[in-house]
Each structure stands twice: as C-alpha cells, then as structure tokens.
C-alpha cells in the first residue's frame, strides 16, 4: 500500500479546522501540505523491506559477538500519533561466518522506526528480520525510548524511559552469552 500524500493533507486540514484554525489566514494555510510531506518522509519505512537491506558476507571462522549499540532512532506511536525516540542496541552471533556490514544493522532499525509503531513490536520485528536473513546463532535487540505520549499528555512524566528486549537463539538459551551482551551494551555509562 502506497502512502497517499493528498489524503494526509486533507486529514490534517480537517484536524486544523477541528481545532478552530482559519486555514485562509496566516502561517497555517500551508500546514496541511507541509505535514503531509513530512509524514511521507517520517513513514518511509512502511514502503521498505528491511530484509532486503541486509547483505550477507562470509568471514571464515568468525563466530563471536557482533554488537552495534546506541543507534539513535525516531518513531511514531501508533496509539497517539506522537513521537517516541531513543537508542537501539543490536547484537548477533554469526553462524558459519555469515556476517553483514554493521551499517546494515542501523538501516534495519531505521526501516522499522519509520513506521507507525509500538516499541514492543519494533523490538521483535528487528530481531525476527535479522534472524530470518542472517540465520545467526542468536540475535539480541534492546531498545530504550522516551515516549512523548507520556511526556506531553496523560501522566506527564518527562524523562521516563521504556526498555524492551528480545532475545533469540543462543541469547535465550545461554544466560552467560546474554549477560556478556548486556554488559557490553551498558558498559561505560
């Protein structure tokens, strides 16, 4: 399904009118089109296939932990259409030397972040995508995020951080492997 920029613009126009804004005056006249354009960029991940972003290389004999931590991301909560942002940490242990470029891990995070999301589903989707494409011994994804729906409305608790983690394969089966990855993620803080 393609993003429909015109429908977004019309929807924003209706929201602004519902808020009592006069769309014939001032700086809000072009807001519907600006928001529609921004949403097309923000939600560009909806049209991406993250599994196509991962390119496999063979590094003979390499079967140790690969970790990219502190990958910044911005996403939009599907419940309130408000942003959440934070950092993702992605780890995997290759099977039979099957590795990918480290930038590909950040690209997968970005592709899933650029969708209407829940943090829980995003965490699992990243792990499942990497498990399916890399076929590693294990994958671990940890996401830490601040949700503006908790900051700007409702409970109004700025600075609160939600942490989610998903572990697959050896990270689930072996507590020592999981502990090693968690130590590396949180070291130096």
Q: Would you please indicate which residues are annotated as catalytic (active-site) residues? A: 77-80, 119, 147, 149
| Element holding 76 (H helix, E strand) | strand 66-77
Task: Map tokens 């729906």 to a residue.
Answer: 149
Phi, psi of 137 (to 5 degrees): -70, -30
> Do 137 and 159 touch, CB atoms closer than 8 A?
no
Torsion of CA 104, 175, 167, 86, to 10 degrees: -70
Name residues whose C-beta falls within 8 Å of residue 187's C-beta, 6 or more positions apart in sequence: none
Q: Which residues are registered as beta bridge partners of 80?
A: none
Rounded to a whole number of angstroms, the distance between the first and last alpha carbons of the chain is: 42
């Amino acid at each position: 399904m393609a993003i429909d920029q015109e429908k977004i613009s019309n929807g924003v126009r209706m929201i602004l009118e519902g808020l009592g804004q006069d769309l014939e005056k001032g700086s809000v006249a072009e807001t519907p089109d600006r928001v529609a354009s921004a949403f097309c960029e923000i939600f560009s991940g909806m049209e991406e296939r993250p599994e196509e972003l991962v390119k496999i290389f063979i590094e003979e004999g390499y079967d140790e932990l690969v970790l990219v931590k502190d990958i910044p991301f911005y996403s939009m909560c599907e419940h309130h259409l408000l942003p959440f942002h934070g950092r993702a940490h992605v780890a995997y242990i290759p099977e039979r030397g099957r590795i990918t470029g480290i930038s590909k891990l950040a690209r997968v995070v970005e592709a899933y972040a650029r969708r209407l999301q829940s943090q829980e589903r995003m965490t699992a989707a990243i792990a499942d995508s990497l498990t399916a494409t890399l076929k590693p011994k294990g994958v671990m994804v940890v996401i830490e995020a601040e949700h503006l729906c908790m900051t700007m409305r409702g409970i109004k608790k700025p600075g609160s951080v939600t942490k989610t983690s998903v572990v697959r394969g050896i990270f689930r089966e072996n507590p020592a492997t999981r502990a090693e990855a968690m130590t590396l993620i949180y070291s130096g803080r």
